[in-house]
């Protein structure tokens, strides 16, 4: 049997299902709506440099 690590705590998974609960409404199972992530319609990143691998 394969052991699973808990994604929330530093321990082996005990099957509590706390990781499946919605962060905004703890009575609801997460449905990956993304409302808790505060994602904007437009996102950007700033590139500060480019590194080339020397051969």
Closest by CA to 22, choosing from 13, 9, 32, 14, is 32
In this structure, is residue 49 part of a structural domain? no
pLDDT at 14 over 90: yes
Residue 48 lies in a domain: no
Q: Are 21 and 30 in contact (CB under 8 A)?
A: yes
Classify residue 42: in a domain, yes or no: no
Does any domain span residue 2? yes
Q: Provide the domain count of the chain.
A: 1
Residue 55 lies in a domain: no
Report the greatest alpha carbon distance in the chain: 56
Residue 22 in any domain: the answer is: yes
Over 90: is that where the pLDDT of 3 sits? no
Please name every residue paired with 21 in a beta bridge, in sequence order, or none if there are none.
29
Domain encompassing residue 1: 1-35
Calculate mean pLDDT across residues 29-33.
90
pTM for the structure as a whole:
0.52
């Amino acid at each position: 049997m394969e052991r699973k690590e808990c994604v929330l705590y530093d321990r082996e998974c005990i099957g509590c299902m706390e990781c499946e609960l919605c962060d905004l409404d703890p009575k609801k199972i997460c449905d990956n709506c993304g409302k808790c992530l505060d994602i904007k319609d437009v996102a950007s990143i700033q590139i500060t440099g480019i590194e080339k691998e020397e051969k």
